Structure 1
Amino acid sequence: MKSDNLQLQPRKMPVQSRSAATVDAILEATLQVLMAEGLERCTTTRVAERAGVSVGTLYQYFPHKQSLLNSLLTRHLHDVSQAVIACCREQHGTALQPMVRALIGTYIGAKLARPEASRALYMIAMAHGGEEILQQVQGKMCRAVSALLASAADASFAQPDTVAVILVSALAGALCHAVGSDPSATTLEAMHQHLNTLGYGYVRAYAVGGNYDAAISSPL
């Protein structure tokens, strides 16, 4: 008997380009239905119709709606995490300030490339137990950011893992709020500047030789 966790996974993984294209079409159709009609009206029948496939074809890859939604959320978060991880590789060994600026810019760009899609996907995460998927992906990003911080040319950290977790969590929380409030381009530009200040100020305070003691002793 399969575990509940396995039941939420795709029924089979595409191994040919045609199958991969079908899965991509189904997942994109799921996103389109979510954005147009909401979570409750996002059914496998509507998704199959939007994707131009039969319901039977959809079920070849996704056994039920929950598997479909989880796969969509996983794909989105994978894309975000891969962008962040790639940025960490590119910025490895650079100075702290441009490193953090590049990291924050990449994270914002990946999360807000399609704000309406991100709003729909937050619905899935909140309503359908996406916490485990979020934690797994965030864990990958935190490990990449920790390694990035440890490579800084002009700083070192006694606890890079902790600093990475707090930094990534702060960015995720701020962007979650931004997506939910449907911000204007002007607001997003201001948020970018604020997050740059927050991110660099925080990591610099906890760098060895920085203002570490002042940071941990200052009142709330």
Structure 2
Amino acid sequence: MKRSLDRKTRIALEPRKQPRQQRSSKVVDRILDAALILTREQGTKTPTTLAIAQRAGLSVGSVYQYFPNKEAILLDLARRWLSSFPEVIAKRIKVAPPTNREEFRQEVRKLFIDTSRLYLENASLMPVIEAISGNADLRPIQNEYDDQIIALYAAWLQHVNPALEDKIAGRLGVVMMEVGHVCRLVGLKKDRRTFDLIEDDVETMWLALVSPYLDLD
């Protein structure tokens, strides 16, 4: 059973108001862009609400109109990061399915290039992502996106091999998602060369895992 956010935690971390007009949306984008820039500049140090407001060119009061605290800002950034993955994976389903193993390997490489960029450009958000994973009250936020990603990996495999059973495709999707994410987190804590080498290893593991199920020459 998945655990939902408890009411107190949800209220404490949810944005105070949702932007319904273009002007409000632009203000929220300014706040989030400023927070992202600061997290990239400061590394593991969490930016203060005041620093975020100053970088966004807003008063602290204006920031508090939309977010109750800096944690809510970082959480919204994490949501946006998580929500970018389904679209990247879905791109692989929209193209013609590969007809041999080499074509499939090329498709995997394209996916790794796109998803690696998301990790590398947002490395400063990884402590937030890990905090979500380790917090029983916040974990449902990541579960929601994990389920989407697993389903898309399964759909991609069935796009390649329509005869692949749902249960097998889903199981493979879980392994692809979990192994890919954990290994990349490890790589990000090292240097760029180590990240690239680990990513190559993950790609090799993926291909070894799924190729027997895809009926490709």
AA partner of residue 126 (structure 1): E
Aligned counterpart, 2:17: 12
Question: 2:202, 2:143 → 1: CA distance?
Answer: 22
Which runs of 5 or more structure 2 residues have no equivalent in the other structure? 1-6
Map residues 176-187 of structure 1 onto 2, 5 A cutoff.
Answer: 176-184=185-193
Residues 142 and 168, structure 1, Cα contact 8 Å, conserved in 2: yes
Q: Structure 1 residues 173, 48: closer, same or farther in 2, change over 3 A?
A: same
**CA displacement at 1:113 relative to structure 2:** 4.5
Q: How many residues align?
A: 205
Judging changes above 3 Å, is the alpha-carbon distance between structure 1 residues 4 and 159 closer, same or farther for their aligned structure 2 residues? same
Name the structure 2 match of 1:105. 110
Q: 1:181 to 1:96 in 2, by over 3 A?
A: farther
TM-score, normalised to structure 1, is: 0.78
Tell me, yes or no, if structure 1 residue 196 matches structure 2 residue 200.
no
Query: 5 Å matches for 1:61-72?
Result: 61-72=66-77
SS in 2 for 1:112: helix
Counterpart for residue 3 of structure 2: none
What's the % identity of the aligned pairs? 23
Secondary structure at the residue paired with 2:146?
helix
Does the residue aligned with 1:69 lie in a helix, a strand or coil?
helix
Alignment of 1:198-217 (within 5 A): 198-205=205-212, 207=213
5+ residue gaps, structure 1, are 211-220
Structure 1 position 109, deviation (Å)? 2.3
Query: In structure 2, how many angstroms separate the alpha carbons of the residues matched to 1:67 and 1:195?
Result: 32
Asked whether the equivalents of residues 108 and 203 of structure 2 are also in contact (C-alpha less than 8 Å), the reply is no
Q: Which amino acid aligns with 2:170?
A: D
Question: Partner of 1:58 in structure 2?
Answer: 63
Residue range with higher mean Cα deviation, 105-114 or 138-147: 105-114
Aligned CA distance change for structure 1 residues 96 and 77 (closer, same or farther; 3 Å): farther
Q: Equivalent residue for 1:142?
A: 150
Whether the 8 Å CA contact 1:77–1:134 is kept in 2: the answer is yes
The superposition leaves residues 119-150 of structure 1 with CA deviations (integer Å, 9 ceiling, x where unpaired) of 21111123454543332212111101111212
Work out whether residues 40 and 122 of structure 2, in 8 Å CA contact, stay in contact via their aligned partners in 1: no
**8 Å Cα contact 1:108-1:175 kept in structure 2:** no
Partner of 2:4: none
TM-score (norm 2): 0.79
> Residue 69 of structure 1: CA displacement?
1.1
8 A contact 1:91–1:99 mirrored in 2? no
Question: 2:188 & 2:208 partners in 1: Cα distance?
Answer: 24
CA RMSD of aligned residues (A): 2.9
Q: 1:197 to 1:161 in 2, by over 3 A?
A: same
Of residues 148, 158, 162, the one that matches 2:171 is: 162
| Residues 132-169 of structure 1: per-residue CA shift (max 9 Å, x gap) | 33322121111011112122248634611001111121
Report the equivalent of 2:160.
152
| 1:119 lines up with 2:123 in the alignment | yes
Instruction: Output the amino acid matched with 2:204.
Output: T
